[in-house]
């Protein structure tokens, strides 16, 4: 979809559906793989195409 690894996108979709939000929990450590723009693009895509995942 956006040039990111399949599992990164899959994990994001799973987390979004569980939490009803694409927001990450606040924590210290390594920066995220997905930017806010990427997360928004994936969210919009899965809302338009529910069977895509």
Q: Are 32 and 26 in contact, with CB atoms under 8 Å apart?
A: no
SS3 27: coil
How many CB atoms within 10 Å of residue 41? Answer: 15
Domain count, the chain: 1
Q: Are 42 and 34 in contact, with CB atoms under 8 Å apart?
A: yes
Tell me the C-alpha to C-alpha distance, in Å, between residue 25 and each of 1, 38, 45, 48: 24, 17, 22, 25
Model pTM? Answer: 0.42
**Domain hosting residue 47, numbered range:** 1-24+31-53
Kindly give the confidence (pLDDT) of every residue in the chain, 53 residues in length, as a single tens digit, with 9 standing for 90 and above: 578 899 988 888 888 888 766 666 677 888 778 888 998 998 888 888 877 65
């Amino acid at each position: 979809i956006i040039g990111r690894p399949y599992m990164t996108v899959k994990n994001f979709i799973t987390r979004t559906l569980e939490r009803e939000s694409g927001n990450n929990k606040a924590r210290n450590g390594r920066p995220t793989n997905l930017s806010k723009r990427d997360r928004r693009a994936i969210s919009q895509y899965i809302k338009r195409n529910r069977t895509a995942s």
